[in-house]
Every structure is written in C-alpha cells, then in structure tokens.
Amino acid sequence: MSEPQESRFADLHLHTFFSDGTYSPEELVAQGERQELGVLALTDHDTVEGCPPTAKACAAAGIEFIAGTELTAEQDRHEIHILGYEIDVQNPKLLHEISKFQIVRQNRIREMVQRLNELNVPLQAEEVFALANCRAPGRPHVARALVQAGLVGSLDEAFERFLKKNRPAWVPKFKMSALEATELIHQSGGVAVMAHPALNRSDEVIPVMVDGGLDGIECFHTKHSSAMADHYLQIAERFNLLVTGGSDCHGLSKGRPLIGSVRLPYVYVEKLKAKAAERRAAAVRQFPA
Ligand code: AMP
Ligand code: FE
Ligand code: FE
Ligand code: ZN
C-alpha cells in the first residue's frame, strides 16, 4: 500500500561535490534514504550539473527529486542567495549565465591564492582546482586545500585566519543582482526563493524582492532558530510567499551529515510545485523556444 503523501518530508537545500559539498549524488541520495526523506532538492552553488545524476539516483531510490540551484546575488550591498526550484536544467540562457559565474569563481580562486602567497602561505591554484574538481569552486575548496597541504590545522582556522569576509585572503565575488537572479530562474521555468534570510540580515530588501517577483522564502534552515523560523513564516504570510526549508548539507558536519535535520512537510512541496507550474507556463509564453 502506498503511503499517504502527507506523511512525506522534504529536504530542499542540499549540496554535492558539483559545488562545495563532499558527497557524490549517489552518496547524498543514500543518506536521504537513511533519513527516510520523500523529496530531495539539489541546490549546488552556481551550477546545475549535479541535477541529472541526482535525479537518476533518486528515481532508483523511489525519492521525488526537484532540480534546483543556489545563485549568489546581491541587493543593496547585502549578499543574497537565491534558490531556484523546478528549473529547466538545459535552459540555454541559464547555462550561459551560470557559466559566466563559474569563470568568475575560477578567477577568484587564483586571486585568493595570490593573496595567500603574498602572506607567505605557499598554496598553488592548481592544488585547489585538483581538489575541487568542479566548475564552481569556492572558499571551502581553498580551505580544504590549505588543510590538505598542512598549512592550517582545520577548516575553521582557514576561514578565521584567511578566508572570512575582510580577512586577508578574502576576495569579493562579482555578483548579479537579486532581481536578475530571480528573472533568470523565472525564464528557466522555475520559482525563486530567498535562502536562509536570517544569515544575511537582509529583511529590508524583502519588499523590493517581492516587487521583483520573489516566490518564496526559506523559513526552515539549520542555522535558523525556531524564533527566526516563526519570524519568516509571518513574513511569508504577509507577502504571500511560498515557505521552504532545507538543511544546507555540505557533507559531514562535526562527524554527521545535516541532511534530514530540517524536514519540510509535503504540503509545502505541493504549493511549490503548483507555483512552478504557473512559472513554467509563463516562461513558455514569454520565452518560446
Ligand atoms: P563562496 O561561495 O566561495 O564565497 O563560499 C561560500 C561557502 O563557504 C558557503 O556556502 C559555505 O559553504 C562556506 N562558508 C562560508 N563561511 C564559512 C565559515 N566561516 N566556515 C566554514 N565554511 C564557510
Ligand atoms: Fe556552500
Ligand atoms: Fe547559501
Ligand atoms: Zn547552500
């Protein structure tokens, strides 16, 4: 007998080694199975490359899959991460735009390494690229390469000494605006959701983003307290936004994976899918192939 849908739970914020996670798609889905999750969404930073293999692994495991990405954007000098869900991962404009951001990321790795070298930390960009082995490398890969080379004792030390914002090897990243990111997701037929709003202290940009077509807000996140979740649930209600949630699992964290630590009831997934169907129909009308 099939389970009633209402008893299913989703984790809608996950990373693999196609960006700065450590799991392969197959490993991630195996962890999702262990957590008895009914729905997984992959949201790697500035790439959709991991979606086809994750979809395949989910299908084999009987888990519903939602194709996604997490775009790094900016609004009124706040860094904002925009999650795109139910996007067409073969959309040519989406692929073209994210390829530009991947080049920005690769050049930024070289700049960060150069700054480290100026600080007499002898890391080479090629070590970072070899370790990252993906098109969207970021600071976590630099941190791991520093640990691997024995130049720092831990990932935390790498961020604290060198890589955190305004530390000596930090390099700002060129970003699209949050409104451009929202439009890019919409023209790919997906819904745009503001990720972990509490981490960006960015409530004042929400009305602007709602005017720009924002569809939802990530109320439930590993780093949101229940008071923060309640705060964003109220904002979602006030602006008529979708409610989403996810763990933001990047692999093992203090010995265990975060996947499944946030469990979004399926009713929110149904609303997200209904909105995505509207966005997809609008994209077909506005941007015919
Ligand atoms: P980037 O996109 O290259 O700027 O790197 C941002 C990523 O680095 C985030 O998605 C997190 O995965 C990770 N990160 C950011 N700050 C820290 C920190 N203080 N310690 C560990 N990881 C961090
Ligand atoms: Fe990350
Ligand atoms: Fe994020
Ligand atoms: Zn994330």
Please give the distance, rounded to the nearest whole angstrom, from the Cα atom of residue 249 to the centre of ligand 2.
9
Query: Residue 103: which of 81, 129, 77, 140 has the closest Cα?
Result: 129
Q: Is pLDDT at 35 greater than 60 in this prediction?
A: yes
Atom of ligand 1 lying closest to residue 138 CA: 3
Quick: pLDDT tens for 191-234.
Answer: 999 999 999 888 999 999 999 999 999 999 999 999 999 999 99
Q: How confident is the model at residue 246 (pLDDT cuts 50, 70, 90)?
A: very high
Please give the distance, rounded to the nearest whole angstrom, from the Cα atom of residue 32 to the centre of ligand 4.
16
CB 235 within 8 A of CB 241: yes
Q: What is the mean pLDDT of the chain?
A: 95
Q: What is the pTM of this model?
A: 0.95
Pocket test for ligand 1, best of 129, 139, 147, 164 (most atoms within 8 A of CB): 139
Q: Is pLDDT at 3 greater than 80 in this prediction?
A: no
Pocket test for ligand 1, best of 18, 19, 20 (most atoms within 8 A of CB): 20
Question: Which pLDDT value is given to residue 67?
Answer: 98
> In the 8-state DSSP scheme, what is residue 193?
E
Question: Which pLDDT value is given to residue 143?
Answer: 98
For residue 107, what are the contacts with CB-CB under 8 A and spacing of at least 6?
none
Quick: pLDDT tens for 111-136.
Answer: 999 999 999 999 999 999 999 999 99
Q: Ligand 1 pocket: which residues have CB below 6 Å?
A: 20, 45, 72, 138-140, 155, 159, 164, 173, 250
Tell me the DSSP string of 159-173: IIIIISTTSTT----
Q: Is pLDDT at 5 greater than 60 in this prediction?
A: no
Q: How confident is the model at residue 23 (pLDDT cuts 50, 70, 90)?
A: very high
Quick: pLDDT tens for 46-94.
Answer: 999 999 999 999 999 999 999 999 999 999 888 999 999 999 999 999 9
CA distance 241 to 232: 10
Quick: pLDDT tens for 147-157.
Answer: 999 999 999 99
Q: Whose CA is nearest to atom 16 of ligand 1?
A: 164
Residue range 26-47: average pLDDT? 98
CA distance 279 to 87: 10
Q: Are strands 39-42 and 9-14 parallel, antiparallel or unpaired?
A: parallel
Helix (H, G, I), strand (E, B) or coil at 79: strand
Place of tokens 């959309």: 91
